[in-house]
Chains A and B, each alone.
Chain A
Amino acid sequence: MSTNFYEFTYILSSTLDEEARKAITTKLDSTITSKGGEIVETDEWGLKSFAYPINKQTSGYYVNQYFNAPATVVPALEKVIKIDENIVRFMVLKYDNKMKKHYELAKKGALPDIFAVDVEEEA
């Protein structure tokens, strides 16, 4: 079974305390690893305010993860998420080659900046 590279972003309800959050993140992590996945990077953005209210809340705790896993992990993950009502939104993206290259460049800090070109463009 070949593994794919996924990006997984999810939002936890802002009413949870630290331990409840930890419990959910570890539960999701173990769901991934138990099916043969391997987590590459986890980036917790923390509490961010929403652009529009979700479930009457105006902010949420964002977690961004990258992992390698076979394709069977994703439905299992979604099942766990749908049961838990503290996970407000989630998104799993499968990365193709372009996106992977973008990710590599971002790690090195060598992303092409579109705004840098702006200054000299006015001709």
Chain B
Amino acid sequence: MLKNPAHPKKGQLRERECLFSKAGVVYVDYKDERIIQRFTNDQGKILPRRVTGTSAKYQRQLTRAIKRARRLALAPFVAENLR
């Protein structure tokens, strides 16, 4: 979307940088709670790339990490208790 010069929002959208590529991370660990909380919303859902600005490669690793953490009860599948 952002590479298309004819897109109506081309001038307005701010290009977000991938935090993982910038820091030079090798592997996204499922045990790191700060990363997991940062990339899920309060309902427990995984945030999309267009919101967090993560690159595709790290988004895949991140998804894998979050799903592993969910299985080990380190992150919830659904967390709708904040009404």
Once the chains bind, are B27 and A52 in contact (CB under 8 Å)? no
By size class, the interface of chain B is 20 to 34
Interface string of A42-57 (1 = CB under 8 A from B): 0000001011101000
Mark A residues whose CB is within 8 Å of B. Answer: 9, 11, 48, 50-52, 54, 60, 62, 64, 89, 91, 93, 98-99, 101-102, 105-106, 112-118, 121
When distances are taken between beta carbons in the complex, the residues of chain B under 8 Å from A106 are 29
When distances are taken between beta carbons in the complex, the residues of chain A under 8 Å from B31 are 64
Mark B residues whose CB is within 8 Å of A. Answer: 17, 19-20, 22-27, 29, 31, 34-35, 38, 68, 70-79
A51 in complex: contacting residue of B23, B34, B35, B76, CB < 8 Å: B76
